[in-house]
């Protein structure tokens, strides 16, 4: 299987694939009977290396994705927009229909600021 940048996109190696490659290479270069089981020191070192290399593959995949409109976010998306001349617009207000649940006797006059239940950062100003 091809890994890295391919004609169909980016293919990252998994930790298990990296581990299998390490074991195969050690057996080819050192000894065909080399014990690489996880209970052995070599197997433990292989697991450490495979996890670290797996993180590198994950980061490589993230860098690749950051170069695409669908995979980029934040600053990476701004960079892609600058290349194409489509700069990000600033935040805009939205108009939504919402339901406000009030306790008995409470009111919600026009101009009240209400927040989403469970996320106070999502706020709306009532128009009616």
Answer whether 31's CB lies under 8 Å from 37's CB: no
Across 26-54, average pLDDT: 96
How many CA within 13 A on the CB side of residue 79? 11
pTM higher than 0.75, yes or no?
A: no
* CA 23 – CA 28 distance, rounded (Å): 9
pLDDT of residue 35: 95
pLDDT tens for 62-121 read 999 998 888 888 888 889 888 888 888 888 888 888 888 889 999 889 998 988 888 888
Across 26-52, average pLDDT: 96
């Amino acid at each position: 299987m091809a890994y890295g940048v391919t004609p169909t996109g980016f293919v990252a190696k998994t930790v298990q694939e990296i581990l299998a490659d390490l074991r195969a290479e050690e057996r080819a270069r050192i000894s065909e009977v080399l014990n690489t089981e996880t209970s052995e020191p070599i197997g433990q070192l292989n697991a450490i290396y495979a996890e670290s290399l797996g993180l590198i593959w994950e980061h490589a995949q993230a860098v690749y994705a950051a170069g695409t409109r669908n995979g980029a976010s934040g600053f990476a998306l701004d960079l892609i927009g600058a290349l194409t001349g489509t700069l990000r617009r600033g935040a805009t207000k939205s108009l939504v229909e919402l339901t406000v649940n009030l306790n008995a006797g409470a009111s919600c006059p026009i101009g009240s600021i209400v927040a989403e239940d469970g996320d106070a950062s999502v706020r709306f100003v009532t128009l009616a």
